[in-house]
Amino acid sequence: MRYSSALYEKAASTIKSRKENAEAVARRHRDEVLKKYPELSDIENEMAQAGLDVIRAMGSGTLTPELVNGLAKHNLDAQKARGELLAAAGYPEDYLKPSYVCKKCEDSGIYNGKLCECHLKLLRQLSYDELSSTSPLMLSSFDGFDLSYYPARTDSKTGISPRKRMSEILGFCKEYAATFDLGSQSIFMNGATGLGKTHLSLAIAGEVVEKGFGVIYGTAQNLLGKLEREHFGRQNEGESNIEQMLLECDLLIIDDLGTEFNTSFTVASVYNIINTRLLAGLPTIINTNLSWKEFEDKYEKRVTSRIYTFVSLQFCGTDIRMLKK
């Protein structure tokens, strides 16, 4: 995948600030321990001195195996003393070491002369964020999902208690996010506007991103609009390959399917996306306000027949946005 230079810069600056943060925290910890235990400074001076002695001996050609062994032992003793000091004071062993996000490259972004995995992962998620309507990193959480908005009483027409149904759906979505992997099932959420479909999809997205998977979230209108621009060559310079991203991301969430303007292009694209991802075994979450009947009328049979293989979650209750007003 090729990325724009702006994206490379953004990733590099994120990694740089990860490193700076980790090191600033370590410095704060050191200052804190030093204040209470000034003897730490002597121990560290000894460690630094041992290193300097080696360099000096190398420079003057007087480095002998005995000297190296002696200094190494000296250094180990100092390290041991530092460990004991921390332990006696009740600090964790690694309290003075920077806690890097990526232990492999220590947040330098480079490993073995190449971009580290953490760097590639970040580039990928940043490109997905660019395409998404909301940055999946700043999302609704499961904790914010309030079941008290859903009536507990059983609806006489449907025979369903919305609260009970929604509590089951919430439980399903939490479990789905907690155990997500590339073989996870696809989900079809439907129900009227304002019943929490977007909220739960974003909560899933947030947890799945946290786990290091690449997630794209967007409304059908937004994603298909961008795809159409790309297809008809009206893409802005430096934009990445949208179709490829939609087909290959670890989890694709299409919100509000059915509100997009229907053309033969959009219908064919929806089919292509759903079908290609199903064949590749990649999970997709689709939300719609349309009823099954409306859905079947709007999309061809080849689309609906694929959706039948999704886990279907039927949302119910009263429009929460109205209740919150």
Q: Under the rule (CB under 5 A), what is the footprint of Zn ion?
A: 102, 104-105, 116, 118
CB closer to Zn ion out of 120 and 267: 120
Estimate the share of the chain in helix, then strand, then coil, as percent rounded to the nearest 5: 55, 10, 35
Give least dist CB 103 to Zn ion, A: 8
Give least dist CB 129 to Zn ion, A: 19
Give least dist CB 209 to Zn ion, A: 17
Angle between helices 39-60 and 65-89 (to 10 degrees): 160
Query: Which amino acid type is present at position 142?
Result: F
CB closer to Zn ion out of 25 and 58: 25
Contact, 321 vs 199, CB < 8 A? Answer: no
Give least dist CB 17 to Zn ion, A: 14
Question: 132: which DSSP letter?
Answer: S
CA distances from 52 to 47, 57, 70, 251, 286 (A): 9, 9, 13, 52, 62
Output the DSSP codes for 34-64.
Answer: HHH-THHHHHHHHHHHHHHHHHHHHHHT---
CB closer to Zn ion out of 102 and 177: 102
Cβ-Cβ contacts under 8 Å for 94 (sequence gap 6 or more): none
CB closer to Zn ion out of 101 and 147: 101
CB closer to Zn ion out of 116 and 251: 116
Give least dist CB 92 to Zn ion, A: 23
